[in-house]
Homo-oligomer: A and B are copies of this chain.
């Protein structure tokens, strides 16, 4: 059973300010929690239904666990459809960050939607991109919906918040090409993409912001297959990320093999 106070404490972690003070966040749902237990993250406490505990007890390695009923879990959940397990987790320790001239990075410019942000983290993870540069006004990595949409990838990919235009300028200085998707860019499928660089994806409504765009050295384009009359205005930012990462990966495998 959870005390009223503890319920209040856990729900307060839906606020970024409180998360930053306590250096903890909440992860929810069976899949995400199982990923968590497999990861090097430090889990402070698991709150779960008796059924979940009975089925998954074998997965805990000395983690504090508290049984709660559906109504209690509903109270502490940030999701519309509450699940049967919620964990309080310590944030990753902040590592000193330095750009590396041989790495491929993703960079997100003012990506605000937590579902998009989490999905992009999962895409980066799939394609072996281990660091994402995020402009300071992107949604918070530890937002419950980001954690949910990343399906565990938030525990494996490093997200480095920064002044993005400045970081891109620094990337250029060490020889990293800085890619960005634009309507007047080069066709991504016929461009020769590099194994290193920074690939910038823009805000949901406004695309790449002017100050960031000024730092782009290679403008690329995902061509549209629909006729002008039938074409959508744009792709969703997570979809564009998937296409771009896929194409970088495809070309780089080829480069590694030849």
Contact = CB atoms under 8 A, between A and B. Distances in A.
Contacts of A247: 246, 250
A243 B249 CA distance: 11
Interface in A235-257: 235-236, 238-239, 242-243, 246-247, 249-250, 253-254
Interface stretch (A42-50, A61-69, A125-133, A175-183): A125-133
Interface residues of A, number: 38
Contact of A236 (B122, B233, B254): B122
A207 interface: no
A143 B125 CA distance: 31
A171 to B, nearest CB: 21
Contact of A125 (B122, B189, B222, B226): B226
A224 B126 contact: yes
A114 to B, nearest CB: 12
Given A243-B242, A246-B243, A231 B122 contact: no
Given A243-B246, A247-B246, A128 B226 contact: yes
A27 interface: no
A231 to B, nearest CB: 7
Contacts of A156: 226, 230, 232
A151 interface: yes
Contacts of A233: 31, 151-152
A122 B239 contact: yes
A225 interface: yes
Contacts of A151: 232-233, 236
14 contacts: A119-B238, A119-B239, A122-B235, A122-B239, A125-B226, A126-B222, A126-B239, A128-B224, A152-B233, A189-B249, A189-B250, A189-B254, A223-B249, A239-B242
Interface of A: 31, 115, 119, 122-123, 125-130, 151-153, 156, 189, 222-227, 230-233, 235-236, 238-239, 242-243, 246-247, 249-250, 253-254
